[in-house]
Amino acid sequence: MALFVGGLYHDGWLSPAGHLTVYPAANGRVHRDAAPPAVAARGDQPTTLHLQGPDVDRRVVVAPGKSIVVIVPVSHLGA
């Protein structure tokens, strides 16, 4: 399995339009937990992280000044 994170800055921040693609192993299947970069809310407003993919549509709200790590179980054929 390989992981590509588009919009990831060198300081570890993910841009608002960032995305994560998990590529399958040689057998064509992805089956494991995917962990995008840690998400931190800047400023005084909460940040909403919207995760979408096959069988996944999840929104996670991060409180101002806090950071979280989100782990998403992935089991899918193809990227």
- Domain coordinates in residue numbering, the chain: 2-77
List, in sequence order, the alpha helices (H) in 1-79: none
Per-residue pLDDT band at 37 (split at 50, 70, 90): low
DSSP state of 41: B
Which of 27-31, 41-45, 53-57 has the lowest average pLDDT? 41-45
Give the count of alpha carbons within 13 A of 30, CB side only. 19
pTM: 0.63
